[in-house]
Amino acid sequence: MGNQQKKKKKKERKKNKKIDNMLNDPNQKKEVKILILGTGESGKSTFVKQIHLIHKDGFDTKTRQRFRVAIHFNLIKNLQDLIEGLPLIRKSVSKPLTEVAENFLQLNPRTNFTSTIIDVVESLWADKSIKKMYERRSLIQIPSSTNYFLDSLHRISKNDYLPNDNDIIMCRIPTTGINQVQFEDQGLQWSLIDVGGQRSERRKWIHHFDNVSIVFYVIALDEYDQALYENIEINRMTESLDLLSQTLGNQIFRKTPCFLVFNKLDLFQKKIKKVDLNVCFKKYKGGKNEEKALNFIYKTFKKSISSKKRTVNCFSSIGTETENVSEVLQQIQESVKRDSPHILSSLNQI
Give me the sign of the Cα torsion angle 59, 62, 65, 69: negative
Residue 198 assigned as binding residue: yes
Residue 157 assigned as binding residue: no
Residue 41 assigned as binding residue: yes
Residue 246 assigned as binding residue: no
Give me the sign of the Cα torsion angle 44, 50, 54, 57: positive
Residue 43 assigned as binding residue: yes
Residue 144 assigned as binding residue: no
Residue 177 assigned as binding residue: no
Residue 196 assigned as binding residue: yes
**Cα 224 from Cα 280, distance rounded (Å):** 6
**Cα 71 from Cα 57, distance rounded (Å):** 22
Label residue 320 exposed, middle or buried (CB < 10 Å: 0-12, 13-18, 19+). buried
**Cα 345 from Cα 256, distance rounded (Å):** 14
Residue 175 assigned as binding residue: yes
Residue 265 assigned as binding residue: yes
Label residue 346 exposed, middle or buried (CB < 10 Å: 0-12, 13-18, 19+). exposed
Helices first, then strands: H and E counts in the chain: 14, 7
Residue 46 assigned as binding residue: yes
Q: Name, in order, each residue with C-beta under 8 angstroms of 198's C-beta and a sequence gap of 6 or more.
A: 40, 174, 229, 230
Q: How far is CA 234 from the centre of its chain?
A: 19
Residue 167 assigned as binding residue: no
Number of CB atoms found within 10 A of residue 251's CB: 7
Residue 271 assigned as binding residue: no
Reported for 60-65, long-range contacts at CB under 8 A and 24+ positions apart, including other chains, are 61/162, 63/168, 64/162, 64/163, 64/168, 65/162
**Cα 118 from Cα 72, distance rounded (Å):** 11
Residue 349 assigned as binding residue: no
Number of CB atoms found within 10 A of residue 223's CB: 26
Q: Which residue, 36, 38, 10, 34, is CA-closest to 199? A: 38
Annotated binding site for GTP: 41-46, 194-198, 263-266
Annotated binding site: 41-46, 175, 194-198, 263-266
Annotated binding site for Mg(2+): 45, 175
